Structure 1
Amino acid sequence: MGCCEIPRGLKICLIATAILIATLAVVVLVLSLTILKPKQPKINTKSVTLNYIKWIPFPFHLNVTLGIVVSVDNPNYGSFQFDNSTAYISYRGTAAADAPIEHDTIPARGSHDITMTVVVIVDSLTSNPSFWVDFTTGCLNFTSSATLHGKATVFKILKKKVTTYTTCDLSVYIQEQNVASVCKSNVKY
């Protein structure tokens, strides 16, 4: 046996270790590209209720209180914990209201409801040229947006910063005193 030869037992051990490491690398790669790959949360507006509406024609005053319940379905194998945030409501680009969103955790492959109450004092929006046209048709269109910053945790080991962006189009029907909404969301990892 020469000075540079590796004993047969050590060769077998090195080959077995290399095969094991390669197999683990392939398994981790497959898992990260399939099961553990981050997926978009599904954000649906469960309900938007018109809790209160006060309309005084002279002098003009309109106050609308909305109760919003948003359901967030987390399809990932990791939980999502987000910090305190704020939802903003605007009317055709003009700020109309905001509502706090308290920090919380959405469990892995679970669903969670976020409830908020928003008071919109419409008086300040009357300077918008579209307001009176919308008001006379009986429908005021608002846009709500919220950004949640947090972290996704998989198996309590892997942690990754995540930001979700949600935008909802809200139509408040004054005569019927109800609200319709459509929401979209995306996630940045």
Structure 2
Amino acid sequence: MAERREQEKPLAPATPAIVFVEKLTPFPAAEFISRRRKRCLKCCGCSAALLLIIAVTTLALMLTVFHVKDPAIKLNSVNIHGFDKLSNNTNALAGFNLTLVAGISIKNPNAASFKFDEATAGVHYGGALVGEARAPAGEAGPRRKRRMDVVVDIMVDRLVGVSRFESDYAAGILPLSAFARVKGVVKITEVIKRSFVVKINCSFSVDFRSQVIRDRSCMRDLSL
């Protein structure tokens, strides 16, 4: 009977489970976003400043070092030798030539050399070509001026073949015109380079008696 009562005795309640609830720290969203935004602004600012520096430097180089300027040609002097032997006697002039020496200069304003091919020159009288010559190829250094003498043989038989020669000889004044043509290239880099053809046309008069060049006038031309 006693055993039966013990069996009917209610069981002790189970020990309640202890649940630990961890207190989560709130996520610092605002602070994180603020820091990230500052980093992005700094990165964008540095990139923009770098791009600006590159753009300004490139522009400065394009306007200075990389800017290709036009070369110029100039006639500095003209001298003609042999006028003391010139006469209106056609028979005495057979095989006789005058020598014209033209001093020209090529100015190169660029930061790279202006390399030019063989130059051509000629002399006209009364619309007829009475002499021509070629000058050797060369180079005008960076921001330098290259001087050269072009020697042209004027064929007197062509001079006397012009209808106005006798009247000009009697007046003692021979009007001539001369030209020079130079073709070359300015090469800054393999990509930045330009070709030029510089030309000059001059007119002048030669005094037979004093052998002085008078009324010299020149016009320069440039083509790409």
Q: For 1:78, what is the secondary structure of its paired residue?
A: coil
**Greater shift after overlay, 75-84 or 120-129?**
120-129
Conserved in 1, the CA contact under 8 Å of 2:119 and 2:180?
yes
1:50 maps to 2:50: no
CA distance in 2, matches of 1:94, 1:57: 18
- Which position in structure 2 is the counterpart of 1:183? 218
Larger RCO (alpha carbons 8 Å, 6+ apart): 1
RMSD of aligned Cα (Å): 3.0
Q: For 2:113, what is the secondary structure of its paired residue?
A: strand
CA distance in 2, matches of 1:106, 1:172: 31
**Greater shift after overlay, 85-94 or 122-131?**
122-131
1:66-85 matches, within 5 Å, as 66-85=100-119
1:97 aligned residue (126, 131, 145): 131
Taking structure 2 as the reference length, the TM-score comes to 0.67
Give the aligned length.
184
Deviations 1:100-149 (A, max 9, x none): 11110011221111112111013223343333332222222222222211
CA distance in 1, matches of 2:129, 2:112: 35
**CA spacing shift, 1:75–1:15, aligned 2, 3 Å:** same
**CA spacing shift, 1:142–1:12, aligned 2, 3 Å:** farther
Conserved in 2, the CA contact under 8 Å of 1:41 and 1:186?
no
Conserved in 2, the CA contact under 8 Å of 1:43 and 1:183?
no
Query: If each structure's helix is expressed as a fraction of its own residues, which one has the higher value?
Result: 2
Q: How big is the shift at 1:95? A: 0.9
Conserved in 2, the CA contact under 8 Å of 1:45 and 1:182?
no
Conserved in 2, the CA contact under 8 Å of 1:96 and 1:120?
yes
Conserved in 1, the CA contact under 8 Å of 2:72 and 2:198?
no
Q: For 2:157, what is the secondary structure of its paired residue?
A: helix
Taking structure 1 as the reference length, the TM-score comes to 0.77
The structure whose Rg is larger is 2
**Sequence identity, in percent?**
27
